[in-house]
Amino acid sequence: MTAVDLMPAADDDNNKQSSTGLLHHHQLPAAADNAILHNTRHPFISTTLANSFFNRSISARVIHSSICRRLEGKVAIVTGGSRGIGEAIVRAFVHHGALVVVADIDDAGGHALAAALGPHACTYVHCDVAEEADVERAVATTLEQHGRLDVLCNNAGVLGRQTRGTKSIASLDAAEFARVLRVNALGAALGMKHAARAMVPRRSGSIVSVASVAGVLGGLGPHAYTASKHALVGLTKNAACELGEHGIRVNCISPFGVATPMLVNAWRQGQGGDHADEDQAAASEEEEVEKMEEMVRRLATLKGPTLRAGDIAEAAVFLASDESRYVSGHNLVVDGGVTTSRNVIGL
């Protein structure tokens, strides 16, 4: 088992700023159901794996909330929202009544998602979160379209290269380290900056960032990724201190390993050093996802459920909604108890 096995979904060194997942089913008109919940598009993985992963997410359980539209009328930006966990968050937000702007560098995926959800609910804007001009433009576009910004979800992130030769601190690639922090930490900071400028005059808003268990406990990720996620957790707490004065809540979510296709691909990269395991190479993509999910279930203190992207989306809905109106500066860890305890005495 390698460090990347434990990472929440994030992209590899191709600079794609999202991860992979989907939302669960809920009561909607049939046409909206199909548009929001049955999209199996994924430009970077096989259709078979996408279908299998998405269908599992949909059928895993049905959301039965007494509050059907928990984000009714709210305007939200989701960075890295074209696919993966970001896509799951976008679909959850739309499902609960939000007007969502997807901000990503995956133009084809972003336009396709916006078209699937409909222009009344979702639009797309190109945005590289590591470029301040892009972030500023995304916020400005949202204000032009909707007149306000209620929610920013900083989901965009990269995992970094995962070859065995780059994992040791003694082999640290300074340029790669800087690149990961520029996207994961600076990108979130820029999002907070420009979201705050839009939210402060209204004295209201919620900023939610997707961090990682790697920002809670050592040994759960590569050095650059771990440093970037620790930075994001700290930034969340500091920004909450400042922006609370203006009625703005700032929180983050730290997932454990969501066995998404992108995480599986990163795991393959990490295992593909000197010798690839023949059995692993021969196994189907779906089998690899199953193996990773089983590993996560085994490591989790909480037994029974399997962590999926929809769980992270539901956490984001909670922190974006008025249900969490007195929650700020909080890191909501969604990890099945992995970072809280180790049963060393056989309880």
Q: Which residues are catalytically annotated? A: 225
- Residue with token string 């500023």: 136
Residue 144 CA to residue 192 CA, distance in Å, equals 19
159: number of Cβ within 10 Å: 31
